Structure formats: C-alpha cells, structure tokens
Copies of this chain bind each other. A is one copy, B any other.
Amino acid sequence: MPDHETTTPTPDLPRRRVVVLSGGVGGARFLHGVARALPADDVTAIVNTGDDLAHWGLSISPDLDTVMYTLADLADEARGWGLLGETFGALEMMRRYGGDAWFSLGDRDLATHLVRTQALAAGATLSEVTRRLCLAVGVPQRVLPMTDGSCRTRIDTADHGALPFQDWFVRLRTAPEARRVWFDGDPPPAPEVIPAIRAADLVLFGPSNPYVSIDPILDRPGVREAIAGKPVVAVSPIVGGQAVKGPLAAMIATIEGEPASAAAVARHYGGLIAGMVVERGDEGAFADDPALRGIRVLATDTIMGDEAGRLRLARETIAFAATV
C-alpha cells in the first residue's frame, strides 16, 4: 500500500463529524471509544455542567474533568472518579481544619480547579479554560461545556426539599428520593455548541443519566432545535433494568412511575432520537410499544469493559447511526 494512502481519508468513507452529549463516567468512557474511532477534528463533546459546584472556594466542573481525564488516559478507572496516582493530603489537612470534607478533592485534581478558578476570576470563559486544560493534558478533541453561564441542577426531594445536585449525589449518597429535577438558571449554550451541532453529521447521546446529564444540555436554548433533523442516536444507560452506575434506575421508577428500562429512557427522549443502542435482550420492549416503533434499535454488548470494548461500541454506534 503506498504511504500516502495511510494519511489520506479513504474516498468511499465519507467524513463523519460527530457530536457526543455527555455527563460523567459512562459518557466519558463512550467518548473515549469515539475518540479512538475517529480523527480528533471530527469529535466534539458537549458536556453537562449542571453538576458544577463551588467548594473550598474553587470552581469545580466534575463532568468536564471526568471527560478530560478519561480522554487523556489519566482517569482512575478502578476507583471510578478522579485521577490516577491521586493523593489526598489536602483533604486530610482540611478535615483537621474542620473544613467541608464530604466532597473528596484529590491533590492532583486540585491543580485543575485552581487553574480553572484563577482563569475564570481573570475573565476567561469556561469554554476557554476547558480548552486550555485539555490541550495541556493532550486532549485534541473539542470538549465544550454546555454553557459558559450558570445552570445548577436541583433535586426536589420529599424529606430534604430542593437540594443542590452534589449535596444529593455525594453528600447524601442519593438517599433522599428524587421526585423532580430542575435547573436553576437558563443560560444560553456556550458559543461553540450550536455551530458544532449544526456542523455535525451525527449526534450521539452517551450512556449518561438523561435527567441530570443529558437534559441540562438539551434544555439550553436552541439546542433541541439544532439537533432536530440530525441523525440522533442514544446509547442506553440502562442495561437489563439496572443502571450501570449511579441512581438512574431509582429515578426512573420515581419520576416516570415505571420500572427502569432502556425503553423508558427512549420514551423520555421522545421524538428527539431516531435510534437507540441497547444491551442485547433489552430490544423487545421497543417493538411492544407503538410510541417507540419509529425508533430503530441496535442490540449489542453495551457494557464497556476495556478500551477495546469502548472502541467496538463506538464503531458499532457510529455505523448504526449512519443508517437511521
């Protein structure tokens, strides 16, 4: 094979620009596969910032960081959050000072928040500082916060009223039943979000929590309209009635009044998606529900065990999305 063929796009494989909407871990791992499947220039992540919080005086964007660390191969996959080789000296000392210690910030991770906090204080936007951080750790894909403004996810609970997301998720370990999710603040999407969607050939929803990860992105003004008409495929975060990670199964039961299932997630997204990637065995419910008959389903192995599994799922999803 002549050398030039290895660097020239194959003429019969059209360029496919992909936008992935993502929350934290699940979406980040799926993105990791997409980033390995396509040229970096063709991959844009639009990431939830509804989970963002101010803690220890720092501006923290957990989902943006999870995506960045995962794409940079710096994530501690075994622990499920944070950085590889992390230490917790600052947290230990903070406990001694009687400071808030319910949100575990690692020492290496602190550098990310310090850089972000300083840059924002100096007038940079969250989009700008995210790009700077990503380039520094070697992430060439475009990682966009859903907004440069403030949009904070709130969880209405029975016993504790309306809670900031991280209070419910981390401090109270999702124990209080989530009755409703809403967003405090309705800022526009970040400047590159709508252009990225418009330029995309495919829009993928990562296997993230629809209520607290994907909805905050979709609810930015103009995002649903920009997505309409694009081939949109969601990867189900529910596998065999269970959430791979997190409180989603219980949330579906409470909010939708039905057992957790990939089909319930599809119904939640309504007419927005043209296809869904589900675990083998979860596809039956789609044929049974007349409301879901317009949605094409790819049943495959959706649990991303390792890097090869992520790459395979990404390739299958992209190929499938080209057919919807």
Which residues from B are CB-within-8-Å of A115? 94, 97, 99
A89-B89, A90-B111, A106-B89 known; A57 vs B97 contact (CB < 8 Å): no
For residue A114, CB closer than 8 A to chain B, the reply is yes
How many copies of the polypeptide does the oligomer hold?
Answer: 2
Which residues from B are CB-within-8-Å of A108? 89-90, 92-93
Which residues from B are CB-within-8-Å of A13? none
A57-B121, A121-B57 known; A110 vs B97 contact (CB < 8 Å): no
A126 CA to B278 CA, complexed, in Å: 57
- Tell me the smallest distance from the CB of A237 to a CB of chain B, in Å: 30
Say which residue of B58, B93, B117 sits within 8 Å of A112 (CB atoms).
Answer: B93
For residue A195, CB closer than 8 A to chain B, the reply is no
Which residues from B are CB-within-8-Å of A109? 93
**A111 and B133 contacting across the interface, CB-CB below 8 Å:** no
**A111 and B136 contacting across the interface, CB-CB below 8 Å:** no
CB neighbors of B among A264-316 (8 A)? none
For residue A107, CB closer than 8 A to chain B, the reply is yes
Q: Residue of B at shortest CB range from A83? A: B93
For residue A11, CB closer than 8 A to chain B, the reply is no
Q: Residue of B at shortest CB range from A58? A: B114
A99 CA to B114 CA, complexed, in Å: 10
**B136 and A97 contacting across the interface, CB-CB below 8 Å:** yes
A18 CA to B93 CA, complexed, in Å: 30
For residue A102, CB closer than 8 A to chain B, the reply is no
**B111 and A94 contacting across the interface, CB-CB below 8 Å:** yes
Which residues from B are CB-within-8-Å of A93? 83, 107-112
**A137 and B56 contacting across the interface, CB-CB below 8 Å:** no
For residue A118, CB closer than 8 A to chain B, the reply is yes
Q: Residue of B at shortest CB range from A98? A: B136
Produce 1/0 per residue, A109-139, CB < 8 A to B. Answer: 1111011011001000000000011001100
Which residues from B are CB-within-8-Å of A110? 89-90, 93, 107, 110
For residue A87, CB closer than 8 A to chain B, the reply is yes
Which residues from B are CB-within-8-Å of A114? 56-58, 90, 94, 99
Most chain B beta carbons < 10 A, residue from A86, A111, A112, A137 = A111
For residue A4, CB closer than 8 A to chain B, the reply is no
A236 CA to B91 CA, complexed, in Å: 39
For residue A96, CB closer than 8 A to chain B, the reply is yes
Which residues from B are CB-within-8-Å of A90? 90, 107-108, 110-111, 114
> Which 7 A-B pairs rank lowest in CB-CB distance, beginning with the nearest?
A89-B107, A93-B111, A107-B107, A57-B118, A89-B108, A93-B108, A94-B111
Q: Sample 6 A-B pairs with CB under 8 A, ordered by A number.
A: A57-B114, A57-B117, A87-B107, A90-B111, A93-B108, A97-B133
* Supplied contacts A57-B118, A99-B114, A107-B107, 20 more A-B pairs, CB within 8 Å: A56-B114, A57-B117, A57-B121, A58-B114, A89-B106, A89-B111, A90-B107, A90-B110, A90-B111, A90-B114, A92-B108, A92-B111, A93-B108, A96-B137, A97-B111, A97-B112, A97-B132, A97-B133, A98-B136, A107-B110
